[in-house]
Amino acid sequence: MTALTLSTAGAATLRADAIVVGVAKGAGPKAGTVVAPGAEAVDKAFGGKLAGVLETLGASGAEGEVTKLPSPSGLKAPVVLAVGLGRAPEKDEAFAAEVLRSAAGTAARALHGTKKAAFALPVEAAEDVAAIAEGALLGAYAFTAYQDGGKSAKAPLADIALLGAKPRDKAHKAAAERAVMLAEEINRARDLVNTPPNDLYPESFAAVATAAGKEHGVKVQVLDEKALTKGGYGGILGVGTGSANAPRLVRIAYTHPAAAKSLAYVGKGITYDSGGISLKPAGHNETMKCDMAGAAAVFAAVVTAARLGLKVNVTGWLALAENMPSGTATRPGDVLRMYSGKTVEVLNTDAEGRLVLADALAKASEENPDAIVDVATLTGAMMMALGNRTFGVMANDDAFRTAVHETAEEAGEQSWPMPLPADLRKGMDSPTADIANMGERMGGGLVAGLFLKEFVGEGITWAHLDIAGPAYNEGAPFGYTPKGGTGSAVRTLVRLAERTADGDLG
């Protein structure tokens, strides 16, 4: 993991391989490019002409833009990396946290193969320290475990010195420490999502959770196939029955002695989704190792809450199974008796995530938490609706849906509130069972949410995050987001736990 320090050294005197500065678009049509606060010493080394030099090299200050140039005499670092921040804020305003987070991540990605970099970006408050630290640490990520022992690929940036922060300031120090813990767990979630399914299957995922529980003092309970059968978990068993790798239900619980509230997080953990008997066509199954991203997010969020010592009880439920076709697989037309006692007619075995989640939601409801949030790469329909960078938020309580949406935005994750129209429920009526696992094609993401709602305990506040779009980035890296697993929803879940601990929710 990349090291982070808050440094009191000046930008001109700190020994590093590169120094990162911000550049923005000035206000007004003729304002040109401006050097952002934090880079005054660097600009001075350029004789006050850094903005002009950057413009000559084609820099405009646009967000995500990177310009490297050799340092002049007067700077210890041999390279200056200027990263675009977009439009400069108005007087008496500051750069938005997400702008700083994204810029720091862009710079860190551009510095792969570099040992140490100093970040001289605008810092006015602890929130800026948090944003820059998070972005830089998340940008300094690479998954190289299967690439020649990791030796042939460029290593991520090894050491980050954050300038402008105050190491002795309690708020600045706390912000940096939180960023380190959060980034470590997000990157752990990314590693899990990126791990190939021949190495990550329900049993091995459960082993990872068990090891983390021992490390961070979190209680972990694993239900294997025998316990699942005895307990009547027909949804999880029905999905996993076609695979040689048996399913698991993992309960990972963090408790605080002074906690007044409790949260339950439920994660879909399909370690590989072939579609089962309703087999996915070629072109749609190559990245299906990512179908456990919801469980990875829940796991990472609970561990982060424990490491932060939040005054809230957080329990994670990881519903783990592998969805494979075989002679023992569930068939379209089969009826499963779920943990809740309800029966489900399976019309499509590729709508399996809602089946494992249904059992986990019912089980989580028995503990009567103040709120349940489930996270899942659930539907392609949500991707069609919201694209690849935004997750949908549904809930059985409008105020809670708004709170989750606002929490996500505060944490820097794009989300959008979605409805649960009652008229779509009729499409899941079954002549054979209590409910079918499929309904109307149009609004499929909302139909899936309505299905899950059926398994939430009466009177319990619940929200559903469909992260099908942002959980796995098949395109080019951007900001602090790598190609592959992204760690989507971890920041939202952690921030939600913090707000609950602070009494801001419920």
Q: How far apart are the first and last CA of the chain?
A: 36
Can you read off the two tokens belonging to residue 271? 């370690």
SS3 at position 399: helix
Among 243, 88, 194, smallest CA distance to 472 is for 194
Contact 451, 435 (CB under 8 A): yes
Q: Which amino acid is at 46?
A: F
CB neighbourhood size of 99 (10 A):
23
* Whether residue 280 lies in the annotated active site: yes
Q: Which amino acid is at 147?
A: Q
Could you please report the per-residue DSSP string of 180-224?
Answer: HHHHHHHHHHHHHHHS-TTT--HHHHHHHHHHHHHHHT-EEEEE-
Contact 418, 384 (CB under 8 A): no
Alpha helices, DSSP H, located in 251-314: 293-308
Using the 8-state DSSP alphabet, how is residue 243 labeled? Answer: S
* Whether residue 115 lies in the annotated active site: no
Backbone angles phi, psi at 503, to 5 degrees: 85, 15
Among 56, 147, 54, 162, smallest CA distance to 107 is for 162
SS3 at position 73: coil
Catalytic residue selected from 289, 354, 363, 491: 354
Catalytic residue selected from 44, 87, 280, 389: 280
Q: Which residues contact 502 (CB under 8 A, 6 or more apart)?
A: none
Q: Calculate the alpha carbon distances from 423 to 46, 152, 347, 447 in Å.
A: 65, 55, 20, 10
Are β-strands 461-466 and 371-376 bridged in parallel, bridged antiparallel, or unpaired? parallel
The whole-angstrom separation of Cα 381 and Cα 187 is 27
Among 204, 245, 220, 395, smallest CA distance to 298 is for 220
Q: How many CA atoms lie within 13 A of 287 on its CB side?
A: 14
SS3 at position 453: helix
Q: What is the set of active-site residues?
A: 280, 354
